[in-house]
Structure 1
Amino acid sequence: MAGVQRRSALRVISAFKTVSESATLVLASTPPIDLLIRERQEVYLEYRENGDINTRGEIKRTARQRLLTKWQERWDADTSGRWTHRLIPNLAEWCSRKHGQMEYHLTQVLTGHGCFNEYLARFGKREDSACLHCGYTPDDVKHTIFECSATRAERMQIKELGVSRDW
């Protein structure tokens, strides 16, 4: 079931298949299937034993909070998807956001898996990992977004908007 969930999440966020399962599920705001099953089981058992129509919502909220706590612990301990974790450290905040949808280019930036020469060279699609614009090696997502002269204008626009974050 986890494999089917991962493939579905990859399509939802328009990601390459090389993106880790943990990062894929985070970007899709989809908790791992085993935690979802456990959450549903907890809600069912608690409602059956102690619930009435007035407490069902509270039972669900409590179970969801436990799920998010377990998922956050798993996300923090995982060794894959670390670039994505660096950008999205807090799952509850990410999953409860009220704006923004995932799309192909945003997914590449948030995962580091995409049209960056370092990534392409790793899979034999490029001879070297140097940046085509400035020659810096390696041309990875960090270089492209935060350092490359080709993206300086976009960085300045973001800075003028007052958006800053220490990465």
Structure 2
Amino acid sequence: MAIRAARGYRTMSYEAACVLVGSIPWDIEASALASLFYWREEALARGLRPAPREIEVRRSELRQRSIDEWALRLEQPSFGVRTVEAVRPVLSQWLARQHGLLTFRLTQVLSGHGCFGGYLCRIARREPSAVCHHCDDCADEDAQHTLECCPAWAEERAELCAVVGDDLSLPTVVKAMVESETSWNAVQAFAEQVMLSKEAAERERENTTDLAIRRRRTGRRRRAYGLHLQPPQ
């Protein structure tokens, strides 16, 4: 469910998807709800009826406790490390923000699962190598290469840096996105422009290649191929 809400590929890890959509893990959420229930029951057993305001305060306290517990758990993520480590320092602000929606292409940049050489080669198994197809400088392309240094996207990157600054490490970018709707929109615009171009280039490779690994898969062949996808990272 979290992966669908994040509009990401199904190879995304559960931890990364939950962080991106701001979904506190169910076991932590259930524990908080149980604590609220037993708190009310104990009050009623003593002949007290908590006022709506008291209940709301207690609920807010338990939510913050849940966020703190989640942040502690995220200190040692199993998968989706790049995404989790970028959001964890500003987790409370990320959850409380009133702006910014995730899109399919923005999620690719934030999660690293998308049209990148490393992902297409090792996880999706759609490319024979992990090289960047848009420059000659990268033998193992990932989302950070696209965001930070691939010369093919210099123009789009200049527009992004004009808004969020020159530091394009993911934690810094995420912090800027949380603090400003303008920054969020700038990162989203970069993702939409760049990933759209990368997807078009991938389709062109699919349509003109002689390599079986690159050919578009449909029907039964696609379902069989899906069984061999790498586990979330």
State the TM-score, normalizing by the size of structure 2: 0.65
Q: Kindly tell me: are residues 85 and 44 of structure 1, through their superposed partners in 2, closer, same or farther at Cα, counting changes over 3 Å?
A: same
* Equivalent position of 2:190 in the other structure: none
Q: Kindly tell me: are residues 47 and 23 of structure 1, through their superposed partners in 2, closer, same or farther at Cα, counting changes over 3 Å?
A: same
C-alpha RMSD of the superposition:
1.5
Choose which of 22, 26, 29 in structure 1 pairs with 2:15: 22
* Equivalent position of 1:67 in the other structure: 66
1:9–1:28 CA contact under 8 A, matched in 2:
yes
* Equivalent position of 1:52 in the other structure: 50
State the TM-score, normalizing by the size of structure 1: 0.89
Shift of 1:156: 1.0
Runs of 5+ unmatched residues, structure 1: 1-7
* Equivalent position of 2:81 in the other structure: 82
CA offsets 1:74-130 (integer angstroms, 9 cap, x no match): 111223111102321232111111111111111111110111011001132011111
* Equivalent position of 1:149 in the other structure: 151
Shift of 1:164: 5.0
* Equivalent position of 1:3 in the other structure: none
Which residue identity lines up with residue 58 of structure 1 in the other structure?
V
1:36–1:67 CA contact under 8 A, matched in 2:
yes
Runs of 5+ unmatched residues, structure 2: 44-48, 170-233
Q: Which has the larger share of helix?
A: 2
2:112–2:142 CA contact under 8 A, matched in 1:
yes
Higher relative contact order (CA 8 A, sep 6+): 2
Which residue identity lines up with residue 20 of structure 2 in the other structure?
L
Alpha-carbon distance in structure 1 between the residues aligned to 2:82 and 2:112 = 7
Is 1:102 aligned with 2:102? yes
Moved segments of 4+, more than 4 Å: none
CA offsets 1:10-59 (integer angstroms, 9 cap, x no match): 11111111111111111111111111110101111112223611311111
Which residue identity lines up with residue 95 of structure 2 in the other structure?
C
Alpha-carbon distance in structure 2 between the residues aligned to 1:12 and 1:162 = 26
Choose which of 123, 137, 143 in structure 1 pairs with 2:139: 137
Alignment length (residue pairs): 160
Q: Kindly tell me: are residues 76 and 132 of structure 1, through their superposed partners in 2, closer, same or farther at Cα, counting changes over 3 Å?
A: same
2:40–2:50 CA contact under 8 A, matched in 1:
yes
2:148–2:168 CA contact under 8 A, matched in 1:
no
Alpha-carbon distance in structure 2 between the residues aligned to 1:141 and 1:22 = 18
Alpha-carbon distance in structure 2 between the residues aligned to 1:69 and 1:86 = 15
Task: Among all aligned residue pairs of Structure 1 and Structure 2, give the percentage whose two residues are the same amino acid.
Answer: 28
